[in-house]
């Protein structure tokens, strides 16, 4: 009986009824492999596309940030200018109580390394310092026509700088040139003060020599 059962099973497995089942399983397997391959390919392409998009957006953002960085114009660039002349030792002792001169001198030093924009912002205060300089002059030795002439030029040049604040299209070269004129005239003013006291000292020494010669 058992041998008969084994023979039946063997014939059953060898029958042609199993062939469609085998082909069906093979087709399904190939289809699964194909679909899985397509899926992996699509996932890979999507991943690569995502990376490329991320990099592109990052580069674009970097370029935009670089372009948005404000660049300094000529009106914003500090300029190194000539220095301010100093009073001689003798002159300093003579005008040590003239606070207005010292204040103006110190204020003009701030123009030594300023941008045209900053210089224009300082123009109004500069004119006020110059006005105080004139009103506070009590030293008789310095009330000379030559020094008054230099003061008038200094005031006029400072007023021109102040007027430039009202010109929308003012160029940095114009502002820088005007500042140089102001510093030049003030240095001339300082040099004249030195000359006045130097000459005064020289005259006093001459008078003393004459006095000693008479004795």
**CATH class of the domain defined by 79-214:** mainly alpha
Angle between helices 145-164 and 123-135 in degrees, nearest 10: 160
Q: What is the mean pLDDT of the chain?
A: 80
With a cut of 90, say whether residue 139 has pLDDT above it: yes
Return the SS3 of 69: coil
**What is the predicted pLDDT for the residue at 180?**
95
**What is the predicted pLDDT for the residue at 6?**
43
Contact partners, residue 158, CB within 8 Å, separation at least 6: 123, 126, 127, 130, 182
**Alpha carbon distance 117, 35 (integer Å):** 70
Contact partners, residue 210, CB within 8 Å, separation at least 6: none
Each residue of 178-208: pLDDT tens digit? 999 999 999 999 999 999 999 988 888 776 5
Segments of 54-173 assigned E as strands: 79-80, 113-114
Domain ranges of the chain: 2-67, 79-214
Each residue of 94-104: pLDDT tens digit? 999 999 999 99
**Alpha carbon distance 183, 134 (integer Å):** 17
- Let me know: does 152 contact 189? Beta carbons within 8 Å: no
**Range with the poorest average pLDDT among 159-163, 165-169, 211-215:** 211-215
| Higher local confidence (pLDDT), 106 or 35 | 106
Each residue of 75-92: pLDDT tens digit? 899 999 888 999 999 999
- Let me know: does 98 contact 136? Beta carbons within 8 Å: yes
**What is the predicted pLDDT for the residue at 82?**
82
Global pTM value: 0.66
State mean pLDDT over 151-171. 95
**What is the predicted pLDDT for the residue at 114?**
92
Banded model confidence at residue 69, pLDDT cuts 50, 70, 90: very low
């Amino acid at each position: 009986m058992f041998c008969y059962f084994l023979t039946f099973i063997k014939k059953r497995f060898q029958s042609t009824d199993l062939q469609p089942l085998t082909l069906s399983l093979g087709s399904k397997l190939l289809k699964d492999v194909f679909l899985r391959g397509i899926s992996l390919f699509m996932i890979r392409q999507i991943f690569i596309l995502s990376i490329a998009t991320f990099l592109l957006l990052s580069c674009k953002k970097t370029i935009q940030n670089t372009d948005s960085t404000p660049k300094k114009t000529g009106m914003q660039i500090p300029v190194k200018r000539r220095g301010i002349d100093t009073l001689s030792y003798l002159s300093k002792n003579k005008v040590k109580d003239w606070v207005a001169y010292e204040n103006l001198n110190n204020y003009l030093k701030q123009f030594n390394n300023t941008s045209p924009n900053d210089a224009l912002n300082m123009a109004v205060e500069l004119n006020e310092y110059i006005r105080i300089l004139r009103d506070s002059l009590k030293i008789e030795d310095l009330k000379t026509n030559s020094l008054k002439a230099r003061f008038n030029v200094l005031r006029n040049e400072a007023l021109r700088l102040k007027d430039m604040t009202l010109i929308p299209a003012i160029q940095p070269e114009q502002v820088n040139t005007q500042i140089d004129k102001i510093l030049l005239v003030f240095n001339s003013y300082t040099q004249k003060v030195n000359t006045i006291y130097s000459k005064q000292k020289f005259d006093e020494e001459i008078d003393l020599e004459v006095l000693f010669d008479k004795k």
